[in-house]
Structure 1
Amino acid sequence: MQTGESETILSADFVMTYGRDIVVVKEEAPGHFLDDPEKLLTKEVEEELEQPGEEGMEALRAKQVELLKAKKAVKDIYAGNGEQVIAAGTVLSEEDIKRAQEAGPGVFVELSMHVDE
């Protein structure tokens, strides 16, 4: 992640969601920025990875809906099987966003990178 003139590394555990121009991180993230990727790899090996609980996942999904609702998709978004999930020009509703979430993380990231106010 670019911060000013330097590059900073942050574990994905602290990233709630991201888009083309924004990264939303957890409140405790500022204390966990690293300047060397080796430190992140060492830390991950030493720590037991914890899966987010159902509550955490629901909170993340709700935040994603909040960030994208009423924005306009600027291109067609397709699932891995070629099925169109969101048409270009769609003003995103909660239902549209949930459909993209259910289609998988790649589809959701694609959508979040191709929206406009």
Structure 2
Amino acid sequence: MKNSAQIMNLPIVSISDGAQIGTVKTLVINPEKGSIDFLTVEQEDVQLSLKAIPFKKVIGIGEFAVTVESCHDVIDLSEIPIANQLVNKQIRVKNTKAMTRKGQLLGEVTEFFVDEETGEIIGVELDVGDRQAVLSSQFVLTYGKDILVVSEDAPSSLLAEARLLVSAKEQDDEETVENAPQNEYVDERHSGGEMVMEEAESKKALQVLREKQMELLKGKRVTKDIVDKNGNTFIEAGTVLTEELIQKAQEEGPSVIVDISMNVEA
């Protein structure tokens, strides 16, 4: 487990030729998956476009450097639409306000923690009044540009230390393996190795997040007009949220879900 400060500004080293190819400039967050999908690269030469490394290409994140196989792992974001879209969303975790769906302010996020093997966000550190506390990512409903929406039981689920996140994640992983259908393991052995498993994990994380949002929003009444990403009225004030409406909102993107989460009542 690494916190974001331990990754930022690290040298990026190519193993194949033993050369530094840049430094970590920013961490690009995928709000749907709750993970770091790309590391943008700061290079000394003049750049006409932003460069990045897919997190899945990272071999290791050590104390002194991030390692990749070769300089060819650096991509031009203009050539990868999905990466460019994530950068333009400007989702951040640090310095956002953590707020429950009912509008209770939990605190301000001062740091977040990442699984250096997968890029998954494990949890966040919060400034809660006069103390620091840690919250597991399982209680995060939405990663927004300015607001981190958390579940109603988040205030009672705070941890005292970041190291407790690891044991909580291990327990959660064990439960996931125990409850997983057998055919998922068949896919891994017979249908494409790491890429198949990676895709399955991403879809599973997204599905879990959407189910949490569905559970907390279904049946609630919207208190103001909600607009879509194009600025058109998407859901009128007074509308009771159904599964269909919530699914459409999820497809519109995290900013719409954040807006809904902060403007509903029982």
TM-score of the pair, normalised by structure 2: 0.31
State the secondary structure of the residue aligned to 2:239.
Answer: coil
Query: Which digits, 9 at most, give the CA deviation of each residue in 1:41-95, with x for residues without a partner?
Result: xxxxxxxxxxx62101101101100000000000000012122221100010011
Task: Say how many residue pairs are matched.
Answer: 96
1:55 to 188, 201, 204: 204
Between Structure 1 and Structure 2, the one with more helix by share is 1
1:32 matched to 2:162? The reply is yes
- The structure with the largest alpha-carbon Rg is 2
Q: Is the 8 A contact 1:85 1:99 kept in 2?
A: no
The offset of 1:17, in angstroms, is: 1.1
Is it true that 1:80 corresponds to 2:202 in the alignment? no
1:6 aligns to what?
130
CA 1:29–1:9 in structure 2 vs 1: closer, same or farther (change >3 Å)?
closer
5+ residue gaps, structure 2, are 1-105, 108-126, 164-200
C-alpha distance in structure 1 between counterparts of 2:251 and 2:158, whole Å: 27
TM-score, normalised to structure 1, is 0.65
Question: Residues 10-25 of structure 1: matches in 2 within 5 Å?
Answer: 10=134, 14=137, 15-17=139-141, 23-24=150-151
Alignment partner, residue 37 of structure 2: none
Question: Letter of the aligned partner of 1:113 in structure 2?
Answer: M
Larger strand percent: 2
Q: Which amino acid aligns with 2:254?
A: P
Q: Secondary structure at the match of 2:234?
A: strand
Residue ranges of structure 1 left out of the alignment (5+ in a row): 34-51
Q: Deviations over 1:16-50 (max 9, x none)?
A: 216x9x7225xx962439xxxxxxxxxxxxxxxxx
1: CA distance, partners of 2:211 / 2:237: 23
Which structure is richer in relative contact order (CA contacts within 8 A, separation 6 or more)? 1
% same residue: 36
The CA distance in 2 between the partners of 1:16 and 1:112, in whole Å, is 12
Query: Where do 4+ consecutive residues of structure 1 move more than 6 Å?
Result: none
